[in-house]
Structure 1
Amino acid sequence: MNNITNPTVIVGGGFVGLFTALHLSHRHYSEPIILIDSQDRFVFKPLLYEHLTGEMQNEQVLPRYEKLLEGSKVTFIQDKVTKIDLKQRRLELASGLHYDYRHLVLGVGSTQGYLGTEGAEENAFAFRTQEDTIALEKHLRECLQQASQAESAQREALLTIAIVGAGPSGVEIAATLADLLPQWYEKLGGDFSNIRIVLVNHGQEILKGDVNSHLRDTALKALKDKAIPVELVLGAKVTKVGRDRLEYQLENEEATKTISTQTVVWTAGTANNPLLKTLSIADKNRDRHGLPMVTDTLQLPNYPEVFAAGDCAVVLDRSYPPVAQIAYQEGKTIAKNLMALSQNKELHPVNASMRGTLMKLGIRNGVANIFDKVKVKGRAGDSIRSLTYLEMLPTPIHNFNATTEWLSDEIFHDHHHYHQPTKLGQPKSNKRFAGLASIAAGAIAAVALVGGTAAVWHIAHSGNQPQATQKQLTK
């Protein structure tokens, strides 16, 4: 390839990569665009809980890139990039192919980290991908089936689930399983009160240092109010994860404590994508964790043709949380700056900001903190969260299909598919009417959060003043 025809290559089809590609396509970017990812589907991580519970279908949460990019000028290649030569401007792929690029965008994200804990990677379940979700569901169903016919000692371990890490992911999966597992076990004839869910955290507070920390009290109440209250073990350092146990030490105690369990879900910590190690970047241009540092225009120092953002880069003199809404805004900035380069115009610094947070706190239960001004909890909060995420998915056709399918399930099939076990003495209520009301409230709030997303995308696709939508993705 000569330099004139070399493409802009985007590595990683997450929030940064996919939305950079879509923005460029909608703005009629003049250079060829190639998007490379090892998977064939976009993983909408915030909705993996709905994928696990069956609240949403596979195509809603995990749409294929081929479908999302249909009609765009983006070429999608399913392959794994194994090496990047910054000086030669060349990518090497696992298939043996290589690509020379004119501009490069890195949006490879992070991987699950295990903090060097013995046995964690081998024996614990992560929850970041479609494969993780499928593996966890299969394992949990097998444990419940065995427990339904097991002796008491063995049954206790089969029905105990330990979750490591009380950040947002740990809290959300704990709350989700506390609602989901009783349903599954009751269908097998089991007594769901025998299920035990333990959330183990190194710090003394859940959500500490996270953008969701202001939702701590709401989350604690949700965990406590479950038919199976989630147990908290705080100030605990996990020292080992075995096939049938989790070992930990409490602060200021030398004795090792043990939780007998067949299921450990690990949500604590992240690790750098291994691809970043292949970059010939000076140590002074990496942070203390080894992540590349980029300028405020999201370019690598000494390599202005390379952009990076999201979980795989750190912006100099800025501190952005590693959440989807920030990654989306960074992707938009990269697209604008690539357009500027192609037109010999001035580049602009990134100016990302948080616009509220959303958390799942169980089946049909969530909290939406809208623009840090209004907090909506319960069924209405979950409806806002679901509708907001569905409306923010990458293309208008997918938005419409996913949203209408979800609404249909909620309105017409809700009472057939979901039964929430209740504690003894807890009154039952007419949840159907309340559910419809919360959906309506959620729709209004979601429209307010999105800010006319569908209309903007319609204009972009119709060719009238092409603009990439200002979506506001939250974690």
Structure 2
Amino acid sequence: MRAALAVFSSGNAPCTPLGTSGFPIVASLRRAFASVNTRAHGLNRTAGQHGGGSGVRPRPCQPLLAAAVPFSAGATAAKPLQPPRICILGGGFGGLNTAVKLDGLVWPEGTKPQITLVDANERFVFKPLLYELLSGAAGEEEVAPTFEKILRPTSVSFVRGQVESVNDGPATGPEASSGGSVTLKGGALLSYDWLVLALGSEPRDAGVPGVKELTHGFTSYEDVLALRGALAALAGNPAPRAVVVGGGYAGVELAAVLADVLPPGAAVSLLASGSDILPAAPAGQRQIAREALAGKGVRVVTGARVAAVESAAGWAGGAGAAGMTGTTGVAGVAGVSGTATSPLTAAPVSWTTPPRRVLLEGAAAAASAPDPSLEAEVVVWAAGSGPTHAPGAGPPGSAPFPTDAGGATQTDATLRVLGHPHVFALGDVAVCAEGAGSPGSGVSAPPRLPATAQVALQQADYVAWNLWAAATGRPLLPFAYQHLGEMMSLGSRAGAVTLPLPIPPALADAARGAALGPLLRAAGLSVHGDGSGAPDRLSLEGPLAAAVRRAAYAYRQPTPEQQARAAADLAKRALGDAAGLARSFLDQAAKGLKSGAR
């Protein structure tokens, strides 16, 4: 759900950094301008410049006048040229951006591929903005546009369907490049020459009883519809209760926005299984998040492992297991008793389910004995996810592609699936196998990367480039991840952004001083270290961080048309928030000066 800072990423992350300043954002900006200039002048680079030696290294997804570049002797592209068929499974950040970037490349004459994007849903979901969709701070067109609308300016074909199996061609031998076929639910068959696996992740319930039946998820457009409807049904409740399970980014962000949208008197609890929230976050973000949750009245319970979720005792009503009677209008609703109108579809939605009881175990259970449980009308599960089960019948590992113990498809450093030279995988569903470096390059496998949109977006650049290179007989590039920082939402008009900018010790000390520190904090700026001896980093918080985050996501929309729609919506909302931001700054500055005077 969480995506790290990408506002300055030009879509050319694989490029060799320009300059030696050590500031990735500056380098990304330079690359962005260089890419624009290159596209404008149609600059060509030969295949010999990919590797070592002199010359400029080509940037993935930079359109090349490929017809003017000679093919290497013996390359597979020496065969009669014909349009390859590229099938991309999954329309998340990785899959959709791979399709759009492939469509924008310049191919040898007559060989532009037939690109087919397959997804089970009709809408692309910009998952980091689901919190804004829940609160009403962002609209459906920005967060969940249809694939048909996004792909209208391109030549990419969209097929809505659920993947049942993949029949891949032989991994070796004379027919290794013959591709294979994808079977969809219902029997439809799609043949391919090249395949991309980008199926993303899916929620994991860790086998906890009651999670599937009695909790809300928060990973899809439908999940937001269901949760918004359930919250609307609580409007007459003077003291509604909500529990969010999961102390990572998704849980913290969701707890913050629930505290904003629920009426005064609501009780929001956040359950974290570890000793603190956000265990993988920078120290600055963790501190900002703690303060934001405390300011919103969110109760944080650490050391809380969920043993089960069940219907609260004494509730009489409803049919079926746990008293659930079903839903009308929106699939997957697991709400509270009442009737409401979906804020997004205007369709009537009704619920008849009991309050839930979340049973705890571990340190939190011991501390709350003799009744180690929490009751709430709404429980949201945000306690983990894993790679979507690879296509193919049977248990994990039975699909035609190699997977690790967690079910992620194993690739080499170029993101090509091991043993399947015409199949690539990226995003949450892929992992670079240990020791599986780029063949013949001496490049070792990178460390395991987090399941974030930032990673998927950068990998989409490489997969698009490497597909182009593989189809035209060029060398492939090993994936090189460039971390661009972290961003998170902390409510309707607040956030936290940590930039990958090392702050010199003298400047960090001044920023924390009594004279400058309060003013910087009032403006939404602070400097934090993690205690490891690494350089301090700059963090943004409050309305400033929220504005930077929204601007970043407007920039990272998949097409220029979608970027324009998101930017227009953002500008409209920013004008409405400008007065509130100014008032907040003046109030915080006054408090900071008074505190410093003491």
Same fold at TM > 0.5: yes
Other-structure match for 1:259:
374
2:167 is the counterpart of 1:85:
yes
Other-structure match for 2:432:
315
User: Pairwise mapping of residues 268-287 of structure 1 onto structure 2 (< 5 A)?
Assistant: 268-276=383-391, 278=393, 285-287=402-404
| Alpha-carbon shift at residue 353 of structure 1 (Å) | 1.9
Q: 1:256 to 1:294 in 2, by over 3 A?
A: farther
2:231 is the counterpart of 1:102:
no
Other-structure match for 1:232:
300
AA matched with 1:431: G
Within 2, Cα distance between the matches of 1:214 and 1:73?
44
AA matched with 1:240: A
Q: 1:432 to 1:333 in 2, by over 3 A?
A: closer
| Alpha-carbon shift at residue 68 of structure 1 (Å) | 1.4
Normalising by structure 1, report the TM-score: 0.79
Which has the higher mean CA deviation after the structures are superposed, 286-295 or 365-374? 365-374
Other-structure match for 2:12:
none
Answer yes or no: is the 8 Å Cα contact 1:211–1:321 preserved in 2. no
Other-structure match for 1:221:
291
AA matched with 2:293: L
SS in 2 for 1:290: coil
SS in 1 for 2:481: coil
Within 2, Cα distance between the matches of 1:435 and 1:95?
56
Q: Deviations over 1:257-282 (max 9, x none)?
A: 11111211000011332334547568
Within 2, Cα distance between the matches of 1:8 and 1:50?
34
| Alpha-carbon shift at residue 174 of structure 1 (Å) | 0.4
Q: Deviations over 1:1-45 (max 9, x none)?
A: x99555110000111101111111110342211111111111000
Within 1, Cα distance between the matches of 2:378 and 2:283?
27
Answer yes or no: is the 8 Å Cα contact 1:298–1:334 preserved in 2. yes
Answer yes or no: is the 8 Å Cα contact 1:81–1:92 preserved in 2. yes
Other-structure match for 2:266:
195
2:217 is the counterpart of 1:126:
yes
2:278 is the counterpart of 1:207:
yes
Other-structure match for 1:357:
486
Other-structure match for 1:141:
232
Answer yes or no: is the 8 Å Cα contact 2:251–2:270 preserved in 1. yes
SS in 2 for 1:359: strand
Within 2, Cα distance between the matches of 1:328 and 1:162?
32
Structure 1 residues without counterparts, runs of 5 or longer: 149-155, 183-191, 416-429, 438-475
2:405 is the counterpart of 1:288:
yes
AA matched with 1:196: A
Match of 2:557 among 381, 393, 407: 393
Size of the aligned set, in residue pairs, is 397
Within 2, Cα distance between the matches of 1:435 and 1:33?
49
AA matched with 2:423: V
| Alpha-carbon shift at residue 54 of structure 1 (Å) | 0.8
Larger radius of gyration: 2
User: Pairwise mapping of residues 403-418 of structure 1 onto structure 2 (< 5 A)?
Assistant: 403-412=567-576, 414=577
**Percent of aligned positions with the same letter in both sequences?**
31
1 or 2, which has the higher helix percentage?
Answer: 1
Within 1, Cα distance between the matches of 2:403 and 2:81?
29
Q: Deviations over 1:401-460 (max 9, x none)?
A: 221122113314x49xxxxxxxxxxxxxx72535799xxxxxxxxxxxxxxxxxxxxxxx
Answer yes or no: is the 8 Å Cα contact 1:276–1:291 preserved in 2. no
Q: 1:214 to 1:298 in 2, by over 3 A?
A: farther
Other-structure match for 2:14:
none
SS in 2 for 1:143: coil
Match of 1:52 among 118, 134, 159: 134
Within 2, Cα distance between the matches of 1:390 and 1:436?
24
SS in 2 for 1:371: strand
Within 1, Cα distance between the matches of 2:139 and 2:553?
14
| Alpha-carbon shift at residue 324 of structure 1 (Å) | 0.5
AA matched with 1:315: C
Q: Deviations over 1:270-298 (max 9, x none)?
A: 13323345475689x42221222110011
Q: Deviations over 1:313-349 (max 9, x none)?
A: 1112331111101111111101111110122011110
Answer yes or no: is the 8 Å Cα contact 1:112–1:270 preserved in 2. yes
Q: 1:255 to 1:109 in 2, by over 3 A?
A: farther
SS in 2 for 1:362: coil
Answer yes or no: is the 8 Å Cα contact 2:271–2:302 preserved in 1. yes
Other-structure match for 2:472:
343
SS in 1 for 2:454: helix
Within 2, Cα distance between the matches of 1:201 and 1:137?
23
Q: 1:273 to 1:347 in 2, by over 3 A?
A: same
SS in 1 for 2:466: helix
Q: 1:391 to 1:434 in 2, by over 3 A?
A: farther
Q: Deviations over 1:166-195 (max 9, x none)?
A: 10000000011111213xxxxxxxxx1x31
Answer yes or no: is the 8 Å Cα contact 2:386–2:428 preserved in 1. no
2:589 is the counterpart of 1:431:
no
| Alpha-carbon shift at residue 207 of structure 1 (Å) | 0.8
Match of 1:10 among 77, 88, 106: 88
Which has the higher mean CA deviation after the structures are superposed, 265-274 or 2-11? 2-11
Answer yes or no: is the 8 Å Cα contact 1:86–1:280 preserved in 2. no
SS in 1 for 2:233: helix
AA matched with 2:580: K
2:359 is the counterpart of 1:247:
yes
2:123 is the counterpart of 1:41:
yes
SS in 1 for 2:428: helix
4+ long deviations beyond 6 Å: none
